[in-house]
Structure 1
């Protein structure tokens, strides 16, 4: 399947039935417009985003779409349940032996094999899918300052071993890391992720035919580091995250392509028109989807009206690298 250059994200929105219904409508409109990549996470909207996509997927042939989800952050109990987070943790995770308090980093993040397996099975049920296309460790760099580099990459190796097991069991096709700061920061800065060390962990977990195939990182006109900043030492050279991924044979999803619409207020007047586009959102998406090495630019689309506006760029030729660089003077 050829993946669409835009993907529908599901991070934003209240945990309500109205937003659930809007996401179902948006997902079906996105598919009708030619989009086939959907991204979510176990903790998005308390798990409701996965379930909303699952409702939409019932109307779509399984071979017509690609779905990625994530695990790492602890979900929280339903807001109206009356259950405290501590009571929920003991009942759902600690009591059954899935996760201990010692396994939780910074009170909110875990990547133990048993916890990942638990979250993956919840996601598969919510999405109504036996085999997920892509399973990400969610912002794994959250643990890096707390563990230190050596312990962190050992934790990653164990998580990757678990993911190789999920592939063998037919639960996922590939795995990756969905990051925020990790690939944007330079070496030596707290929270920097080394793609080279992640690849070493993947080879350790799965050999030369490992299934670590994807990374996800933010990329937009206000956060262009993945395209411009040489943050990744690779083969004796300093490379951008996009360049290092391309050299390593990894595919890339970008998040925050319009930065939850905040970037649209920062663009100068006439910017979209100068690019031959009608709206600032289209201009921002055209930049991100055009960056070399980007497979799919993810964008939150919780309403069908957003889908119609954003998907208009999917049929356009991508900008040349020189034109992209010229945007930054």
Structure 2
């Protein structure tokens, strides 16, 4: 089982009619809540697991059907608690698997529940000695790898952690971690191999689609070693699998302080330069936003003038989220939430219409 167009539409249709505008249809016809729940922050302990489990319950009840992980988040504990919660919610009849969109990521080395005493030895035993990757295929001091056998193993581990047959969205996690350490030619070859592995995983039913989750890659100057061209990434997917490739999602940070994804025209599509969000839309990818609250820093009063533009809301956090999820081209704003009070506050926006695109554009300086 996996998320399906029919199931996610059913989830949307079950919500009160005034909420329907807060669900967006992705490029793969999945209906996505405009606010999703992320699982990056928190200690690797049972207490935090319990907080997340309660937050998942609250989010589901309030109309969220997008849940985002990475295998390295909290040393695999975020995936495991999400999987445990999902299984319980389905068993109790509070959720249907085909209604819930589960996303995770692979690339960074995941330790097992806690950091090992000697990380380098752990990596050697798990990946080098077993032949899953070669030493030169790692980057960032053995913290990152996208070699085919390594990726296949990460997908298998994530499937087990999440307790699902199919991962709905699987992201290559910060591939620019590789690009800054190797030549452009070597990076291209590694990305081709990684994409081929992901396409094969789609064929096998392990993942439904894949994407790129980045931090700096699509927001950088074109001269920056970390810069990624979205057109080139789509071209690589097309080279591997033709026009019906399964590269369908882009995740990147965007918020009131980090506006490059929407405002910085560093991506070339055809003859035109445009922002990463616009380029993704032009190339047929669905956009998920990370860090809409800048890891909580935008949940506090820092822009009093915002109340004059984004009216009718109760908190700075709500205004910051409303800005992001209302920006043209954005499908879902992913918010890290493990406190049920924060879930209630932030997901109150599900009952509020998004702003129109012209209001958002009007907040940017006009050239």
- Note whether the superposition's TM-score is higher than 0.5: yes
Residue 282 (structure 1) shift:
0.4
Q: SS at 1:191's partner residue?
A: coil
- What's the CA shift for 1:80? 7.0
Show the counterpart of 2:121.
87
What's 2:276 paired with?
241
In the alignment, structure 1 segments of 5+ residues that lack a partner are none
Q: Alpha-carbon deviation of 1:233?
A: 0.8
- 1:114 and 2:149 equivalent? yes
Structure 1 residues 144 and 76: alpha-carbon distance in aligned structure 2, compared to 1, 3 A threshold: same
C-alpha distance in 2, partners of 1:77/1:133?
Answer: 23
CA distance in 1, matches of 2:158, 2:54: 20
| 1:78 to partner: Cα distance | 4.2
SS of equivalent residue, structure 1 residue 150: helix
How many Å apart are 1:65 and its aligned residue?
0.5
Residue 327 of structure 1 corresponds to: 363
Relative to the length of structure 2, the TM-score reads 0.86
Match in the other structure for 2:85: 56
Retained in 1: the 8 A contact 2:301–2:316?
A: no
Determine whether 1:24 maps to 2:71: no
Distance 1:235 1:122, change over 3 A: same
TM-score normalised according to structure 1 size? 0.96
Contact 2:295 2:336 in 1 (8 A): yes
Verify the 8 A CA contact 1:272 1:278 in the aligned structure 2: no
How many Å apart are 1:92 and its aligned residue?
1.7
Task: Classify 1:21/1:272 alpha carbon distance in 2 versus 1 (closer, same or farther; 3 Å).
Answer: farther
CA deviation map 1:105-162 (0-9, x unaligned): 1211100010001011111111110101010000001111211222212211110000
The SS at the match of 2:331 is: strand
Are positions 1:218 and 2:253 aligned together?
yes
User: Is the deviation greater in 311-320 or in 218-227?
Assistant: 311-320
SS of 1:142's equivalent? helix
What corresponds to 2:354 in structure 1?
318
Contact 1:153/1:197, CA 8 A, preserved across alignment:
no
Q: CA distance change for structure 1 residues 273 and 128 in 2, over 3 Å: closer, same or farther?
A: farther
Structure 1 contact 72–110 (Cα < 8 Å) conserved: yes
Q: Counterparts in 2 of 1:115-264, with a 5 A limit?
A: 115-264=150-299
Partner of 1:101: 135
Which residue of 1 is the match for residue 64 of structure 2?
Answer: 35
CA RMSD of aligned residues (A): 1.5
> Could you say which residue in structure 2 is the equivalent of 1:289?
325
Q: Deviations over 1:217-264 (max 9, x none)?
A: 101000111111101011100011111111111101000010111123
* Bigger mean CA deviation after superposition, 41-50 or 181-190: 181-190
In the alignment, is the contact (CA less than 8 A) between 1:77 and 1:84 conserved in 2? no
Matched position secondary structure for 1:41: coil
- Tell me the matched-pair count: 328
